[in-house]
């Protein structure tokens, strides 16, 4: 569906693919961002847009020579990864519970980390640049090493899925773990301190930013790229471990070759060319969707998910939604629903069904079908998936 221009009196217009009325706080957040002098062309809101910190989750923001650390967020490089594997539902019969158990054994979840880093984690090329990162994280190298190949908690997950052709997919959602969070916090604090001196009229402290050509910009950009690479490799390590579990159960341990592999960020910033100019695009809860780009748009636990291919829509800065988007906060979800509701809404899925994941109940999220309908001009659907196993922290 085409976008709508919001009726806001801002220097940069706001285009929205979310065909619903934004709340007062969401409107204020959109206006604050669109009023920044370095915003390029316009602000693009995706169908799953909702409140964030500084900027709305589900937005694509292009800027000239400036970057907003809080708009990128604290889970730098958070994103999705998926493998299509040469198995069908027949291979899964009677094996869902033991596969879930074995995945949970090889991938630490929640606050847990690996007891020891494996060879794949130790061999990551990014460790060579660790000594150049912000001094506030230098004592965290051992922790970052042990967390490489771990899931985290909240809305992060690992799933086994079936597509409409009965094909098996391995899919997961995770980011840069504690090291990415700490790097972000360090730079956000620096940006806010600078803003007190240089930008006294900033509409929101979380829109404090760095300007290209300054040491602070250079330091943040270096650390940002490192954390984004860490997040991508973290997903790769977990995919490899989970694939080996599946091979053990489904092919007698014989290695199999994935039919398709996708690994994409949805909380990050990159330098890109748009409308003939080099700009910085911050995607806060949005996936890059250039022509032919593969992306992953998950629904909630118990809903469909989608593998998509981008259409390269220039008005969205070649972006699309990153998921269903929450319609209830975690606190609201826990108050409104019971464990019995969770059990009912996740029927047929091998997953946790207890109060510890109640805030992730499907009804806490927007209907994913509606989100997909609102972005037919941004992506085409390649595969529609339904979960049969879901692992959460």
**Residue 324 labelled as part of a binding site:** yes
Distance CA 144, CA 177 (A): 8
Distance, in Å, from the CA atom of 34 to the CA atom of 37, rounded to the nearest integer, reads 8
pLDDT-flagged residues of the chain (< 50): none
DSSP annotation of 212: T
Q: Is 156 one of the annotated binding-site residues?
A: yes
pLDDT at residue 262, as a whole number: 98
Q: Residue 190's pLDDT is what?
A: 97
Of 380, 384, 228, 383, the closest CA to residue 312 belongs to 380
Kindly list the catalytic residues.
Answer: 322
Check whether 46 is labelled as a binding-site residue.
Answer: no
Cα gap 312→315, rounded to integer Å:
9
158 annotated binding-site participant: yes
- In a 3-state reduction of DSSP, which class is residue 66? strand
Pairwise CA distance, residues 16 & 318, whole Å: 14
Selection from 263, 186, 193, 175 nearest residue 222 by Cα: 186
Domains along the sequence of the chain with CATH: 4-327+365-392 (3.90.1860.10)
Q: How far is CA 382 from CA 56, 86, 308, 361, in A?
A: 27, 17, 5, 26
Asked whether residue 392 is marked as a ligand-binding residue, the answer is: yes
Q: What is the pLDDT of residue 300?
A: 83
Q: Of 326, 321, 324, 322, which Cα lies nearest the Cα of 359?
A: 326
**DSSP string covering 276-289, please?**
TEEEEEEEESEEE-
Q: Is 42 annotated as a binding residue?
A: no
Q: Is the full-model pTM beyond 0.85?
A: yes
Looking at residue 123, the DSSP 8-state letter turns out to be T
Q: CB of 375 within 8 A of CB of 321?
A: yes
Question: Cα torsion for 307, 262, 297, 120, to the nearest 10°?
Answer: 140
Nearest in space to 178 (alpha carbons), one of 219, 146, 155, 130: 146
Identify whether the C-beta of residue 33 lies closer than 8 Å to the C-beta of residue 39.
yes
Which pLDDT belongs to residue 220? 98
Element (DSSP H or E) covering residue 375: none
Rounded to whole angstroms, the Cα distance separating 179 from 227 reads 8
The annotation status of 312 as a binding-site residue, yes or no, is no
Taking the C-alpha atoms of residue 237 and residue 123, their distance in angstroms, rounded to an integer, is: 11
How many residues does the structure list for the chain? 393
99 among annotated binding-site residues: no
């Amino acid at each position: 569906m085409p976008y709508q221009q919001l009726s806001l009196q801002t220097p940069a217009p706001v285009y929205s693919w979310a065909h619903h009325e934004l709340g007062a706080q969401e409107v204020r957040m959109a206006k604050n961002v669109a009023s920044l002098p370095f915003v390029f062309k316009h602000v693009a809101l995706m169908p799953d847009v909702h409140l964030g910190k500084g900027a709305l989750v589900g937005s694509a923001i292009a800027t000239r020579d400036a970057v907003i650390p809080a708009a990128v967020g604290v889970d730098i490089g958070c994103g999705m990864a998926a493998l299509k594997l040469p198995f069908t539902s027949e291979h899964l019969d009677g094996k869902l519970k033991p596969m879930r158990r074995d995945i949970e054994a090889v991938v630490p979840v929640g606050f847990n980390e690996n007891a020891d880093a494996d060879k794949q984690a130790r061999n990551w090329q990014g460790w060579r640049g660790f000594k150049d990162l912000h001094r506030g994280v230098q004592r965290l190298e051992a922790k970052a090493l042990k967390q490489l190949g771990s899931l985290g908690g909240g809305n992060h997950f690992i799933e086994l899925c079936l597509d409409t052709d009965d094909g098996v997919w391995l899919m997961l959602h995770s980011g840069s773990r504690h090291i990415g969070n700490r790097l972000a916090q360090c730079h956000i604090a620096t940006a806010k301190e600078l803003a007190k001196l240089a930008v006294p009229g900033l509409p929101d402290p979380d829109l404090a930013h760095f300007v290209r050509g300054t040491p602070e910009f250079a330091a943040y950009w270096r650390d940002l790229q490192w954390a984004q690479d860490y997040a991508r490799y973290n997903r790769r390590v977990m995919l490899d471990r989970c694939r080996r579990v599946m091979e053990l159960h489904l092919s007698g341990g014989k290695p199999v070759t994935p039919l398709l592999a996708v690994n994409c960020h949805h909380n990050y910033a990159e330098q890109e060319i748009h409308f003939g100019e080099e700009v910085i695009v911050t995607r806060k809860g949005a996936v890059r969707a250039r022509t032919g780009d593969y992306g992953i748009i998950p629904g909630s636990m118990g809903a469909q998910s989608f593998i998509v291919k981008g259409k390269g829509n220039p008005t969205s800065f070649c972006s699309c939604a990153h998921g269903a988007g929450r319609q209830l906060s975690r606190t609201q979800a826990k108050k409104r629903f019971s464990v019995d509701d969770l059990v009912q809404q996740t029927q047929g899925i091998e997953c946790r069904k207890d109060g510890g994941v109640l805030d992730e109940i499907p009804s806490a999220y927007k209907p994913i079908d509606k989100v997909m309908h609102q972005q037919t001009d941004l992506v085409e659907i390649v595969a529609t998936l339904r979960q049969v196993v879901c692992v959460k922290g």
